[in-house]
Amino acid sequence: MATSYSVQHLGEVRSTQDLARDGFDSSPLLVTATRQTAGRGRSGAPWRTAPRALAASVAVRPGWAPRVLPSVTLRAAVAAAEVIDGAGLKWPNDVLIGEAKVGGILAELSDGVIVIGLGLNLWWPNPPDGVTAVHKDDPGPGAGPRLAEQWVESLLSLIDAGPDEWPIDTYRRLCTTIGREITWEPTGSGRAVDVDPSGALIVETPSGRMRLTSGAVTHIRMTDDR
């Protein structure tokens, strides 16, 4: 059974990340919202909101060494895929259905507390190119909170397993980046071949293998068709 947690289901807020961080005491705190006015993605990028959306953030203090904290993002992605039918993962933090993005993960560390966010499109009748939603029809206001609790319970179980016991084989199976030709900013290119135990992406380049870490890569694009 996952660690117990407290929860706040809200309507419109500035940022669930900020509320979870500021409201954290000692046990995990989950904050969800239907809309954010100041939501953000990786590297501070703004987050576009679907007509029916979920923003969820959970604050935890795992007490782990800094070297293993990057795997929390990948655990959160695995947990999201476990509760979304047909989901795949794009390294390091995108949740996909097919080739289209349905959500994303954001992890922020402050004073030993890590806040893991999930932004998810629940329903979007006319989404932008490359974007999709979990449901074809509006699932109603209760769908987001239910899915958020399923996600956080899965995530906390994966965290409870310990710093060195994360489901890397499951992540590899779900990761659509592996086996693809990719480019990354500013001028990198190669073929993604693996994800190592630390969560880094292993890429074959003309000059040899290299490790990409999520903190060092601001944007990654899969360039081949599949």
Q: What is the mean pLDDT of the chain?
A: 91
Kindly list the domain boundaries of the chain, sorted by start residue: 6-172, 178-222
Q: What's the pLDDT tens digit per position in 152-184? A: 999 999 999 998 888 999 999 999 999 999 998
**Which structure tokens are listed for 102?**
């349905």
Q: Among positive and negative, which fits the CA dihedral 64, 156, 166, 74?
A: negative
Q: Where does 178-222 sit in CATH, by number?
A: 2.30.30.100
Say yes or no to pLDDT of 139 above 90. Answer: yes
- Please state which CATH number belongs to domain 6-172: 3.30.930.10
176-214: burial string, b at 16+ Cβ within 10 Å, e else: bbbebbbebeeeeebebebbeeebbbbbeeeeeeeebeb
Above 80 in pLDDT, residue 224? no
Indicate the pairing of strand 201-205 with strand 12-13: unpaired
Q: Choose among 147, 146, 2, 159: nearest CA to 75.
A: 159
Confidence (pTM) = 0.91
Is residue 54 scored above 90 in pLDDT? yes
Alpha carbon distance 132, 153 (integer Å): 24
Sign of the C-alpha dihedral, residues 120, 125, 130, 135? positive
Question: Letter for the amino acid at 26?
Answer: S
